[in-house]
Amino acid sequence: MIRQNLTLLSVLLASVAPTSLALAQPLIIDETAYDDERLTPGIYPAAPVPEDFAVPSEPGHLPVELDWSIGLKGSYTSSSDGNGFVTTLNPGFTATHQGVRTDLVLDGSATLARGNDGNLGATDLALELKASTMLDANTTLSGNARLGLSQDLPATPGLSPLITTPPQVLTGALGGGMDRRFGQFNLGLKGALERTIYGPTTRTDTGVTDNSDQNVWQGDATLRLGLQATPIFEVFGEASLGRDWFDHAGAGGSKPDATSRALRAGISGNWNGIFSASASMGVGQNDFDAAGLSDITTRLYDASITYSPDSTLNLTASLSTTVTPTGSDSSGTARVAHTALANVDYTVNSWLRLRASADWGRSLLEGSGETERSHGLGAGADYKVNARTAVSADYGYAHRDNSATGPFDSHTVSLGVTLKR
C-alpha cells in the first residue's frame, strides 16, 4: 500500500515540475511580432458607424465673415421753405474676424443722394476699424480708427434755410481704451484724438463763408472708477481732460484754443439684462487761452434707461449735456447743448417690426448769445419680404426755433427697400 502511494506521488511531482519551472522564469514577449499592428501616431481607432447615422464633418470657418447691404430710399419733404424730393442709395458692408482673444470689425458705408436739382453726390462716406482683445479674465483692451466725409443737402431739416451750399466736413479719429476689474472695483481708461476739417459754405445773405478757422484738433482722456456695491448697483466717478487746437484765429482775431475739464459722479444698475439705468451729474469747464474770451462753466447731466423684457421689445431713453466747438458757419466760442432722445421698437412677428422715436434739444452758442430749441417725432415700420429683402416706411416731423433765423418746421415721408447678405 505504501509502495503504491509513493508511486502516485512521484507521478504527480513529475507532472507539476515543468509548470513550476515555467512560472519561476520571467515572462518574455516578442515585441517584433506586433510591429505591423502598432497604431500610427495621431490616429486612433473608432467604432464603426452605420452609413444612415453618419454625420458629415463640420466645415471650417472663414477667417473673415463678410456681410453687406444696399438700400434705395425715396423721401418727400414738406417744410416752411418749400417742398423737395430726395432719392438716396445706401451701400454698406461689415467684415468681422473673431479670434481666440482678439476680435476685429471693419465697417464701411456710403450715402449717395439726388436732390431736386438732379445732381448725384455723396452726402456721407464712413469707414471704421474696431478691435478688442482680452489680456486676461479681468482686463480688456479696445481701439478704433475712423474716417468720415459728409455734406448735407440744402434744405435738410435742421439746417439753416439761408444755406444754399453746405460745407464738406472731413473727420479722422483714433481712440483706445482699457477696462480692468479689481475685485469689486471697475477701472476704465479711454483716450481719443480727432481731426476735423471744414469746407466753405455758400449763404444767401453773406455769400461764401470760409470755415478754415474752425478746423481743429481735439484730444480727450477719460478716467472712470466704479464700485460694484451690489450685484445690481454700481457707484462711479468720472474725470475727463480735453484740449482743442484750432488752425488759426477767426474773424474776431482770437484763436479759441481751450482746455476742458469735467467731473461726474453717478450710479448705474442692471437687472438681469432686462432693465438697466444710469444717472450722473457733474460740472464742466472750458478755459480759453485767449484773455479776451470768457471761460465757460456749466453743469453736466447724463442719464439713460434701457428696457428689454424679451427679444421683441426694446425701449431706450437718454439725456445728455455736451460742450463742443461751434462748427462751420457759426459765431461764438463753444456750443453748450442739452439733448434728450427716446426710441422704441417692437417686433410684431417674424416679418413685421414697428419703430418710434422722439427727440428734444436746446443749445446755446457761448460768446454770441444765439440760442436754439428743437424737437421732433418719428415713426416707421419694416416689412421683411424674405431672408434678404426688407421694405421700410417712415414719417418724421422736425421743429426748430433759432433766435437768429426764426422757426422752421418740416414733415418727411420716405419709402425704401434694402437687400442684404
| pLDDT greater than 80 at residue 415 | yes
State the average pLDDT over residues 10-20.
44
Query: How high is the pLDDT of residue 54?
Result: 56
Query: How high is the pLDDT of residue 50?
Result: 62
Q: Among 48-62, 69-83, 363-377, which stretch is predicted with the lowest mean pLDDT? A: 48-62
State the average pLDDT over residues 251-262.
89
Q: Among 152-161, 162-171, 182-191, 321-330, which stretch is predicted with the lowest mean pLDDT? A: 152-161
State the average pLDDT over residues 280-290.
94
Contacts of 179 (CB under 8 A, 6+ apart): 139, 140, 142, 186, 187, 188
Is the pTM higher than 0.85?
no
State the average pLDDT over residues 69-81.
92
Query: How high is the pLDDT of residue 300?
Result: 95
End-to-end CA distance of the chain: 104
| pLDDT greater than 60 at residue 226 | yes
Residue 400 in contact with residue 373, Cβ under 8 Å?
yes
Query: How high is the pLDDT of residue 405?
Result: 80
Q: Is 290 exposed, middle or buried (0-12, 13-18, 19+ CB in 10 A)?
A: middle
CATH architecture of 70-420: Beta Barrel (2.40)
State the average pLDDT over residues 98-114.
94
| Beta bridge mates, 99 | none
Distance CA 194, CA 191 (A): 10
Query: How high is the pLDDT of residue 297?
Result: 93
Place 84 in a pLDDT band, splitting at 50, 70 and 90.
Answer: confident
Query: How high is the pLDDT of residue 20?
Result: 43
| pLDDT greater than 80 at residue 281 | yes
State the average pLDDT over residues 35-44.
52
State the average pLDDT over residues 292-306.
94
| pLDDT greater than 50 at residue 17 | no
State the average pLDDT over residues 335-354.
96
pLDDT in tens, 239-252: 999 999 999 887 77
| pLDDT greater than 80 at residue 12 | no
| pLDDT greater than 50 at residue 253 | yes
Q: Which helix (H) or strand (E) holds 10?
A: helix 2-24
| pLDDT greater than 80 at residue 48 | no
| pLDDT greater than 60 at residue 128 | yes
Query: How high is the pLDDT of residue 115?
Result: 83
Q: Average per-residue pLDDT in the chain? A: 86
**What ranges make up the beta strands (E) of 57-184?**
65-79, 82-98, 102-114, 120-136, 139-150, 163-165, 169-182
Place 399 in a pLDDT band, splitting at 50, 70 and 90.
Answer: very high
Q: Among 150-154, 228-232, 348-352, which stretch is predicted with the lowest mean pLDDT? A: 150-154
Sequence spans of domains, the chain? 2-50, 70-420
Q: Between these two residues, 212 and 143, which has the higher pLDDT value?
A: 143
| pLDDT greater than 50 at residue 361 | yes
Query: How high is the pLDDT of residue 158?
Result: 64
